[in-house]
Amino acid sequence: MVKQVRSRRASLTLLDIAAGIVVAAGAAASASAQNAPAFNWTGFYVGGHAGYRWADADLTTLPYIFTPPSGSVTIPGRSENYNLNGGIAGVHAGYNYMVAPQWLVGVEGDWTWGHSSDALVTTLTGIDSSGDGFTLRRNSEVTLTWQASLRGRVGFVTGPWLLYGTGGVAFTRLKWSESTVLNTIGPVTVSATAWSDAKTLTGWAAGAGVEYMFASNWIGRVEYLYESFGDFTVPTGLVPAGSSARPGNLDLSAVQKIRFGISYKFGP
């Protein structure tokens, strides 16, 4: 009889200990969950970025005939490439909104400064229609300066990490200049023209990036953007005094950027 009582008491003691362990474990898990950092991506943010861009501008023109006083000169068509690579820096701002535990949508605008230019110097020699020699010297330059964009964003959130895609409208400022001097012999004549133009271009942008929230209000990022602005007309060529420029076609269809940035998010 005594042995049975001791056995029951021992069983009750083991049950009490097991229950205590379960309760303690549950309390620890609850405390751990409460103390775990929360990553709230919803809210406004502003930041700065810096990086590098790769851009190619391609110029094409048709051949034409120019007639100075001594005889006609045939100027061949052109197919030229201008490399506009260089460093960039700028600012950005936007708003994110969590639409599901792991998905967000947002909108962002940015303005980026850069100054990338490339110049080509061309010298042509030949014989005009009168049998006299000529020399043509041409200096042309393309400069790409600021860029801006307004884009939507869709992202996947996992803890402090955000993976996102982005796309929207893009803007850029491009400058074109050209000077041409033609010298003919017998009799000696000199013909010269100079052109310049600056355009604000509109195109599209698309890209992707990754962000990391390393503190409750601070976010680092790496982002890639591809932008295209199509083709447009620029003034080129030799023309008689008082005449309009000959049209050249300048294509800026491929501008690529990689940017590293940091943002401050307002609110909790």
Tens digits of residue pLDDT in 188-206: 778 899 999 999 999 999 9
Same-domain status, 77 and 93: yes
Q: What is the pLDDT of residue 92?
A: 98
Same-domain status, 65 and 26: no
Same-domain status, 12 and 130: no
- What pTM was computed for the model? 0.81
Q: What is the pLDDT of residue 7?
A: 35
Same-domain status, 17 and 51: no
Nearest-CA neighbor of 108 among 100, 97, 98? 97
Same-domain status, 129 and 201: yes
pLDDT tens digits for range 36-53:
346 899 999 999 999 999
pLDDT tens digits for range 143-174:
999 999 999 999 999 999 999 999 999 999 99
pLDDT band at 140 (very low <50, low <70, confident <90, very high): very high
Domain of residue 160, CATH code: 2.40.160.20
Nearest-CA neighbor of 84 among 175, 206, 150? 175
Same-domain status, 118 and 137: yes
Same-domain status, 1 and 133: no
- Domain interval for residue 15: 1-36
Overall number of domains in the chain: 2
Distance of CA 211 to the CA centre of its chain: 17
Same-domain status, 201 and 104: yes
Q: What is the pLDDT of residue 157?
A: 96
